[in-house]
Amino acid sequence: MSVLIRGGRVITAADDYVGDLFIEDETITLIGESLDVQADKVIDASGKYVLPGGVDPHTHLDMPWRGETTIDDFESGQTAAAFGGTTTHVDFCIQGKGQSFGEALEIWHGKREGKTLIDNGFHIAVTDLREGGTLEELASLPEQGVTSYKLFMAYKDSLMVDDETLFRTMQVAADTGALVMVHAENGDAIEVLIQEALAAGDTDPIYHALTRPPETEGEATNRAIQLARVAGSPLYVVHVSCAESVEPIAIAREKGWDVYGETCTQYFFIDQEYLARPNFEGAKYVYTPPPRPKQNQEVLWNAVRTDILSAISTDHCGYLFKGQKDHGRNDFSQIPNGGPGLENRLHMIHEFGVRSGRITLNRMVELLSTNPAKLFGLYPRKGTIAVGSDADLVVFDPEKRLTISAKTHHSRVDYNLFEATEVTGSPEVVLLRGQVLVEGDRLVASPGVGQFVKRARFGDELRRAPAAVA
């Protein structure tokens, strides 16, 4: 099967030119002007952008946690991703207490069976090094293509690890070349604040934010950075939400340390006030870290513009408003933590990042695709448009208007964080390894087409240049 994408404006992290792309089987084999080739399928991309498929490094599909399971499984979540121009994601495989890493990975591989529409990898979330996985087993995971270790410094009732577990994992990563990821919040202090709020009868969703002040994120971010420095491991801080956490990352990067951070789409748009919405509607915005006071939004835009933060993910962790979120109606600490967003990252960042003049198109591609691919061992197979790269491509119509809504999105979540937001610019055709997934409003691929991707170790792919353009 061959595909010719003709006359599009090809945009990578570094390039911006009008050209043709020729795809044979799964990869790009020719790039040039007015290519003289025969193809089984021709896509006219004139007037459109051709972007590398999005890489979302932070999702939670089909994740059981605190008595609820996230409502999007691999089929619905990846369908939503495909419509939003994301062709690869890295999901969190959560080690259960007392479980080996191998057992956890087997369960997560089972979740994707027969359901995949895009490619994905797994991070391993380390929760138990005492009765579950061993350091030796952790060290063996990169051989299976699982090259990132995630630790939660919060959620004292469930996922949180102590500093010894964090530090020992960092030491293993320093040896194996894995990337350490942290959810950085001081879980001990937060637990005290939660118990105090509940004892005072403060049960509304707004207390989710008030019991997780930005300083608790700043403290944990700094602690993780310093510990990673001692252990000699690289560090990636997930879902950075506020100035208190941006600052220590900026300092570390200024010093040239191997420290990286991501923020998520929602932190640019949703502020703490949303949690105070009446009729329990604030529960829709209960995710962690919480939406912050509005002034943090410009801090985050500045951080992604200046490369203090390297990526934008979604932290897609969807729960129904009716039937899941409402289990915490009388106690904010029982509201399932998480929000949806897998489908709208490109829409929102294109509209309010690029069209509003905050970042360039190249930087958008870098934040949504190239940098996540580089940091998580997928580049240059993913994250760019080059000869030899997978033909994961988005033909993006910069003039197409869309009103974002739960009525039309593809996730199972019964609300949308960005409901009624109007954007100009949307994917028109989305291809995964040369196969058309989405054409206009239609999903044209069937579940099962997505593959598990074994990822390279941190740094391996950073040093490898993409294949030369023909």
Q: How far is the CB of 341 from ligand URP (least distance, A)?
A: 10
Q: Which of 72, 91, 315, 366 binds Zn ion (CB under 5 A)?
A: 315
- Kindly tell me which of 315 and 461 has the beta carbon lying closer to ligand URP: 315
- Kindly tell me which of 3 and 71 has the beta carbon lying closer to ligand URP: 71
- Applying CB under 6 A, does 160 fall inside the site for ligand URP? no
- Applying CB under 6 A, does 415 fall inside the site for ligand URP? no
Q: SS3 for the chain, per residue? A: CEEEEEEEEEECCCCEEEEEEEEECCEEEEEECCCCCCCCEEEECCCCEEEECEEEEEECCCCEECCEECCCCHHHHHHHHHHCCEEEEEEEEECCCCCCHHHHHHHHHHHHCCCCCCEEEEEEECCCCCCCCCHHHHHHHHHHCCCEEEEECCCCCCCECCHHHHHHHHHHHHHHCCEEEEECCCHHHHHHHHHHHHHCCCCCCHHHHHCCCHHHHHHHHHHHHHHHHHHCCCEEECCCCCHHHHHHHHHHHHCCCCEEEEEEHHHHCCCHHHHHCCCCHHHHHCCCCCCCCCHHHHHHHHHHHCCCCCEEECCECCCCCCCCHHHHCCCHHHCCCCECCCCCHHHHHHHHHHCCCCCCHHHHHHHHHHHHHHHCCCCCCCCCCCCCCECCEEEEEEEEEEECCCCCCCCCCCCCCCCCCEEEEEEEEEEECCEEEEECCEECCCCCCCCECCCCCCCCCCCCCCCCCC
- Kindly tell me which of 341 and 380 has the beta carbon lying closer to Zn ion: 341
Q: How far is the CB of 49 from ligand URP (least distance, A)?
A: 30
Q: How far is the CB of 300 from ligand URP (least distance, A)?
A: 16
Q: How far is the CB of 309 from ligand URP (least distance, A)?
A: 16
Given Zn ion, ligand URP, none, residue 287, with its beta carbon under 5 to 8 Å by kind, binds ligand URP
- Kindly tell me which of 49 and 285 has the beta carbon lying closer to ligand URP: 285
Given Zn ion, ligand URP, none, residue 385, with its beta carbon under 5 to 8 Å by kind, binds none
- Applying CB under 5 A, does 183 fall inside the site for Zn ion? yes
Q: How far is the CB of 59 from ligand URP (least distance, A)?
A: 9
Q: Which of 317, 385, 395, 456 binds ligand URP (CB under 6 A)?
A: 317
- Applying CB under 6 A, does 287 fall inside the site for ligand URP? yes
Tokens in use for 166?
């964090």
Given Zn ion, ligand URP, none, residue 91, with its beta carbon under 5 to 8 Å by kind, binds none
> How far apart, in whole angstroms, are the C-alpha atoms of residue 379 and residue 370?
7
Q: Which of 20, 91, 315, 461 binds ligand URP (CB under 6 A)?
A: 315
- Applying CB under 6 A, does 337 fall inside the site for ligand URP? yes
Q: Which of 77, 338, 372, 425 binds ligand URP (CB under 6 A)?
A: 338
Phi, psi of 87 (to 5 degrees): -115, -5
- Kindly tell me which of 218 and 434 has the beta carbon lying closer to ligand URP: 218
- Kindly tell me which of 148 and 389 has the beta carbon lying closer to Zn ion: 148
Range 369-408, binding ligand URP (CB under 6 A):
none
> How far apart, in whole angstroms, are the C-alpha atoms of residue 342 and residue 411?
8
Q: Which of 9, 48, 60, 112 binds ligand URP (CB under 6 A)?
A: 60
- Applying CB under 6 A, does 266 fall inside the site for ligand URP? no
Size of the site for Zn ion (CB under 5 A): 2
Given Zn ion, ligand URP, none, residue 237, with its beta carbon under 5 to 8 Å by kind, binds none
- Applying CB under 6 A, does 26 fall inside the site for ligand URP? no
- Applying CB under 6 A, does 288 fall inside the site for ligand URP? yes
Please report, as ranges, the residues that interact with ligand URP according to CB under 6 A.
60, 183, 287-288, 315, 317, 337-338
Which residues of this protein are in contact with Zn ion, per CB under 5 A?
183, 315
